[in-house]
Amino acid sequence: GLGGTGPDLEPRWRRWRSERGQRAEGTRGLAARWLRQVEPGDDRPASAEQLALALALAFPDRLSRRRDQSGEHWQSVGGRGFRLDPASSLASAQWLAVGEVAGSAAGARILSAAAIGEEDVFALFGDRVEIRHDGTFDPATASVTPTRSRRLGAIRLASGPDPRPDPTAIAAALVEGIREHGLGLLPWSDEAAALRHRAAFARDLDPSFPALGDDVLAERLDEWLPGLVEGRRRLSDVPADALIQALKALLGWEAERRLERLAPTHFRSPAGSAHPIDYAAPGGPTVEVRAQALFGLGTHPSVGDGKVPLTLAITSPAGRPIQTSRDLPGFWKGSWREVAKEMRGRYPRHPWPDDPAAAAPTLRAKPRS
């Protein structure tokens, strides 16, 4: 509270130098003793400019540059974002030497700072400015534009197109783009999505099964994504097969074998036809199959080592739904008779036996007479 409580340290410093009272005099005496230890015999009065220089040298990672016209948002050399009251006298400065902040993450509030000129910034820290070959990620196109930039820590001083891009930097920018904007930017194929749904189903049955959910994939991003984006500038260029192989690598060979047992990709009918199983269906694992392909089946098919019955979306020969069942024997013995009666008139060239559990499965129609 010396000299006031505002964030601008320069007017507070000026007021403190002339304040009366035991506390102000005591702190000025302490400052004089420190000065004599550092510069014996130096009685020259300090200047306002030296205040900002001393603060910048004390906290170089908090040195910040304004990010917007209002002066509310600031970027620090150390990477953190700071906020300042736009009504503050410091809001019009381009650079601040920041002494104290309150809060965490990107919303830390500046409690005390002093404006510092750009020429002083480079006089103090010019040897720390570096050239970086990196890239700017565009979430709209899920791509990276290679850039060459001058930086002081996390502050980008200037940038432009990079005629000689660094593939490693571009890959890193793509990874960071996914980290910030989400896994949905990757070109997931239906097969890759199905693999993740199967893994989620297996994990519901066995909590020890490896997870492939968004949170886990994001947490392990550096483990599986960099190799996929290396040498590319667009996420859409990542091959669908490569994503599937990356997911399988995260599972491991043993877990992949368990997955085939717990959550097979297809249901094979008594007629020999293979039908994909939808593990994301609202009613649980679901398969669509023609009634005639199920003839001869007296028990209801299941997955998950027999623990979860498949939801059978039974269709007509034309692929139109006629029944959904999780109890095939009950369907054969119950409403099948009425269904078959109606279907015989619509599809006379296909068999509609009275006892389908004892009939031979078929995918063929009777020849035309």
Model confidence pLDDT, tens digit, residues 18-62: 999 999 999 999 988 888 888 887 777 778 789 999 999 999 999
Q: Is residue 342 part of a domain?
A: yes
Q: For residues 159 and 88, is the Cβ–Cβ distance under 8 A?
A: no
Owning domain of residue 60 = 9-64+82-119
CA distance 70 to 68: 6
pLDDT at 105: 66
Least confident span in 27-41, 122-136, 199-213, 321-335: 27-41
Q: Is residue 163 part of a domain?
A: no
> Is the same domain home to 226 and 270?
no
Burial 249-264, CB ≥16 within 10 A → b, else e = ebbeeebeebbeebbb
Q: Is 110 exposed, middle or buried (0-12, 13-18, 19+ CB in 10 A)?
A: buried
DSSP assignment letter at 361: P
> With 80 as the cut, is the pLDDT of residue 368 above it?
no
pLDDT at 106: 64
> Is the same domain home to 290 and 347?
yes
> φ and ψ at 97, to 5 degrees?
-90, 110
Least confident span in 10-14, 164-168, 198-202: 164-168
> Is the same domain home to 92 and 194?
no
| Domain stops at, among 240, 262, 284 | 262
Residues 6+ apart with CB under 8 A from 256: 248
| Domain stops at, among 262, 288, 305 | 262
Q: Is residue 3 part of a domain?
A: no
Q: Is residue 71 part of a domain?
A: no
Q: Which residue has the tokens 């009275």?
A: 354
Report the chain's mean pLDDT, rounded to a whole number: 93
The whole-model pTM stands at 0.68
> Is the same domain home to 19 and 108?
yes
CA distance 234 to 139: 10
Q: Is residue 69 part of a domain?
A: no
> Is the same domain home to 271 and 336?
yes
Q: Is residue 281 part of a domain?
A: yes
| Nearest alpha-carbon partner for 196 in 280, 305, 311 | 280
pLDDT at 57: 97
Q: Is residue 293 part of a domain?
A: yes
> Is the same domain home to 115 and 16?
yes
Q: Give the mean model confidence (pLDDT) for residues 224-246.
A: 95
Q: Is residue 70 part of a domain?
A: no
> Is the same domain home to 271 and 232?
no
DSSP code per residue over 187-250? ---HHHHHHHHHHHHHHHH-TTSPP-SHHHHHHTHHHHSHHHHTT-SBGGGS-HHHHHHHHHHH
For the stretch 151-163, pLDDT in tens is: 999 999 988 888 8
Q: Give the mean model confidence (pLDDT) for residues 339-363.
A: 94
Bridge-partner residues for 152, per DSSP? 155
> Is the same domain home to 244 and 277?
no
Torsion of CA 39, 42, 44, 47, to 10 degrees: 0
For the stretch 294-306, pLDDT in tens is: 999 999 999 999 9
Split into its structural domains, the chain has a count of 3
> φ and ψ at 200, to 5 degrees?
-65, -40
> Is the same domain home to 246 and 275?
no
> Is the same domain home to 217 and 229?
yes
Least confident span in 123-127, 130-134, 194-198, 310-314: 130-134
Q: Which residue has the tokens 């404006």?
A: 115
Does residue 310 sit in helix, strand or coil? coil
Residue 1 CB coordination number (10 Å): 7
Q: For residues 291 and 315, is the Cβ–Cβ distance under 8 A?
A: yes
CA distance 277 to 262: 12
Q: Which amino acid type is present at position 296?
A: G
